[in-house]
Structure 1
Amino acid sequence: MIKYSPIVALDVANLDQVNTILKQLDVNPRPMVKIGMEVFYHFGPRIVKHVQAMGFTVFLDLKLHDIPNTVERAARVIGALGVEMTTIHAAGGSEMLAASKRGLMQGAQEIGKAPAKLLAITQLTSIDDQILHNQQHIAISLQESVRNYAKLAESTGLDGVICSALEVPVIREVVSPDFLCITPGIRPNSAQNGDQKRVVTPNQAAKLGSNGIVIGRPITQSADPKFAYKQIAEEFKEEK
């Protein structure tokens, strides 16, 4: 099974904070870094190039969700940035997912690189069954919703999904072994859950079969991000 080192979410406010954290993460190999909406909308594509120039691969988490033509054009731009992973909402449907895959491949061809791995957002880790039923008016269980989105993503040619580690076992029942499950909502035992609802520890994620964990504040807001990262990486390696 493919297993990535912990992916560090750069959910910070300014470029000085980005630079400080990246300089503190001088581990070998360097972790993949997640650039989300907050940082990307502030700095634009240049932040991707900046992080790449510092020796880090990039997971660009923009959660595309629009009509297929718009998504295909946006994905082409993302593909030409040379990022390692990117995201799209599975709720947009098969036509939109297929369009995003085409766009990524076109953009990657322009720069002569392999296309980014495209991951479908199933249900955000801030969603629970109550929100699913009372606000989204979805009658099935959260786990069934996530499993259905995973099947849709794989059938449309995507590389994997973003899901809670709690849902990885049920997803594994309906997808191929090389289908990726990348899991946010990770908190060490000593950390607060914050706005996450479906939360597990790094070790629990490993035991549940996660291919990679995404973790931000417990590292980026730590007094020693390098030490915090190494601790989490070691815990994720273990499956006992």
Structure 2
Amino acid sequence: MQSPASTLFTDSPIVVALDFQDAQQALAFAAQIDPTLCKLKVGKELFTSAGPQLVAQLVDNGFKVFLDLKFHDIPNTVAKACEAAAKLGVWMLNVHASGGSAMMQAALEGTSKGSTGTHTPYLIAVTVLTSMNQAVLHELGVEADIEQHVLRLAQLTKAAGLDGVVCSAQEATLIRQHIGQDFLLVTPGIRPSFASKDDQSRILTPSQALAVGSNYLVIGRPITQAADPLQALHLILQEIESTSV
């Protein structure tokens, strides 16, 4: 099924979070949507259940896959994990910026070593999870406010040579001001105007997130739990287009 929405973007900003329990559910969902309209994110639950075989199958089916495993370990271990992930042909993968410069640089080397195609996977770092708020940071001993802590981690990520960060869209403006345009911002916690907030604390609509500088928008339940996922995807793309003209 095609619609006018499929012509709106040469590179769709939407990354659909495959928050399913097993490969059967994930593949059934993927069969309902168009890989030219979105990317797919495979996270910890699904990867633990289905393994790398699912990632390879999604890639073979024409999808760009963001492998969201948030590696955080000693540099050598992270390097080898990123190398293995890159060999699967993923489009993007990530680590935790709080792992530090040496770990992130090792991750970059591993990603480059494992790359098998013309595109070396984008490597990005997680700053502060969108489910976290100021009280949680204080509980962890971080006295800086969320925005400054995110900026510090984003600057560390840029200095390490990575492609960008995962951050709340609410911090995107600050990162753009201090780091510039040549840095990917991938933002979860995105909810279209017709969807509920669920368990996210810091959210924006897709149009708002793009307007403040986000490059890619991670959206899960508003699409995956829709009665018609492809229609929901079309509606979000149309909502973005209608507010950008």
Q: TM-score scaled to structure 2, two decimals? A: 0.91
Q: SS in structure 1 opposite 2:88?
A: coil
| Alignment correspondent of 1:101 | 108
What's the CA shift for 1:207? 1.5
Q: Percent identity?
A: 43
C-alpha contact (below 8 Å) 1:3/1:212 kept by paired residues: no
2: distance between equivalents of 1:114 and 1:97? 19
Pick the aligned partner of 1:147 from 125, 147, 151. 151
| Alignment correspondent of 1:166 | 170
What's the CA shift for 1:236? 3.0
Deviation string for 1:51-91 (max 9, x for gaps)?
Answer: 11221111100000001111111111011111110010000
2: distance between equivalents of 1:39 and 1:164? 23
C-alpha contact (below 8 Å) 1:4/1:211 kept by paired residues: no
C-alpha contact (below 8 Å) 1:82/1:113 kept by paired residues: no
| Alignment correspondent of 1:16 | 24
What's the RMSD between the two structures over aligned residues?
1.5
Q: SS in structure 2 opposite 1:99?
A: helix
Deviation string for 1:190-234 (max 9, x for gaps)?
Answer: 322122100111111122111110001110000010010111122
Regions of 4+ moved over 4 Å: none
Which amino acid counterpart does residue 217 of structure 2 have in structure 1? I
> Is residue 191 from structure 1 mapped to residue 198 from structure 2 by the alignment?
no
Which amino acid counterpart does residue 120 of structure 2 have in structure 1? P
Q: SS in structure 2 opposite 1:26?
A: coil
Mean Cα displacement is larger for which, 6-15 or 95-104? 6-15
> Is residue 35 from structure 1 mapped to residue 42 from structure 2 by the alignment?
yes
Unaligned regions of 5+ residues in structure 2, if any?
1-9
2: distance between equivalents of 1:233 and 1:168? 20
| Alignment correspondent of 2:90 | 83
| Alignment correspondent of 1:213 | 217
Q: SS in structure 1 opposite 2:186?
A: strand
2: distance between equivalents of 1:113 and 1:197? 38
C-alpha contact (below 8 Å) 2:93/2:123 kept by paired residues: yes
What's the CA shift for 1:100? 0.3
Unaligned regions of 5+ residues in structure 1, if any?
none
C-alpha contact (below 8 Å) 2:17/2:219 kept by paired residues: yes
Give the count of matched residue pairs: 235
What's the CA shift for 1:15? 2.3
